Amino acid sequence: MSQNIDNEKPINIAIIGLGGQGVITLTKLIANVSFGLGKKVCYNEIHGLSQRGGSVQSLLRINEAENPVFAAKDADYIIGLEKLETLRYLYLAKGSTAKVIITNKYLIRPTSDLGYEQFPDEDAIMLEIKKHSSELYLFDALGFEENTKTKFKPLNVAVFSAITTFQELGLPTNKAENLVNEYLGRNMIIRQINKKAFKDGSKWLRKLE
């Protein structure tokens, strides 16, 4: 019945954010660490207008070779780089067991600022996310960014670092770190910043009760 040979259960991950936040890069990082360990992995990306601040989601499945797109209520992990978008796609989470990781980041000024649409306040969004998550973690993006004293702040690399602390995902920290160094190394300055972001990243993650 199952498509994978190892008979290991697929781990389904949804990564949610806005254009420009690095959703696709984060997906590639997770996928390539798993692939490097000899696991089956596949992912998809939804793009088009996403570069321009639109909603971006990518779906990633470890221990599955062919179909990255899974159904509602089948995600083991939801990784949200932006709160509003995370709430929008929270219906993907496996109700009682999914782990939800969110950041307290608000990147794009919603058009509703201009009075065209009603916009819920941040606390209300947070409350809803809490209500619908069985296990919720907060990545303190504001803290991380304040601590990063450069204009370029690689939130996705820091979140990647934090995610490697989930043992069940099977992402060894050293392999992950190597990949960050290899994969994101075109510009020397950016390379240094990414390296540091990975080193510090995991300390900004905490579980919310």
Partner 1 sequence: MTSVNNAGDNEEIHTKETQLLMGNRAVVQGLLEAKVGLTTAYPGTPSTEIQMQLYKLSNKGQLYFEFSVNEKVALEIAAASALSGVRSAVIMKHVGLNVASDPLMALAYFGVVGGMVLVVVDDPGCLSSQNEQDSRFWGKFSHLPILEPSTSQEVKDTIVKAFELSERYNSVFIVRLTNYTSLNTSEVEKNVVEEKMNKDGEFFKDVRYIVPARYVYHKELHGKIKAIRADKEFLGFNELRYSDSKSNKLIVTQGSIFPMVEYTRNFGKLDIAILKVSAIHPLSEEQLCEIIKNYKYIYFVEELESYLEDEISAIIAKNNLNVKIIGKEKLRIPQENKITPDVLLEPFTLIAADPDDENTFRYEEIPQLPFEPVIGREDLLLPRTLPRLCDGCSHRGAFYSIKRATSVSTHILPSDIGCYALGQVSPIEVGDFWLCMGASIGTAIGFSLTNNKPVIAIIGDGTFFHAGIPPLIDAVLYNHNITVAILNNRLTAMTGGQPTPSSNEDSSQNQTPVDIEELVKAIGVKWVKSVRVEDVKENTKLVREAMDFEGPSVMIFNGECVVELYKHDFDLGEPPYVDQEICNHCGICFIEFDCPSIVKVEGRIEIKEETCSACNICVNVCPQEAIIPRKK
Contact residues for partner 1, defined by CB under 8 A:
1-3, 18-19, 31-32, 35, 40-55, 65-72, 74, 84-85, 87-88, 90-91, 108-114, 116-120, 124-125, 128, 131-132, 151-153, 187, 190
Take residue 18 and report the two structure tokens written for it.
């806005």
> Is the separation of the CB atoms in 70 and 61 below 8 Å?
yes
Least gap, CB of 45 to partner 1 (angstroms): 5
Closer of 18 and 159 to partner 1 (Cβ): 18
CB of 199 to partner 1, least distance (A): 21
CA distance 198 to 176: 9
Whichever of 85 and 201 has its CB closer to partner 1, that residue is 85
Beta strands in the chain (DSSP E): 11-18, 41-45, 55-62, 77-80, 99-103, 135-139, 205-208
Please, what is the minimum distance in Å from the beta carbon of residue 169 to partner 1?
A: 17
Query: Smaller CB distance to partner 1: residue 119 or 202?
Result: 119
* Amino acid sitting at position 83: K
71 phi and psi angles, rounded to 5 deg: -90, 170
CB of 151 to partner 1, least distance (A): 6
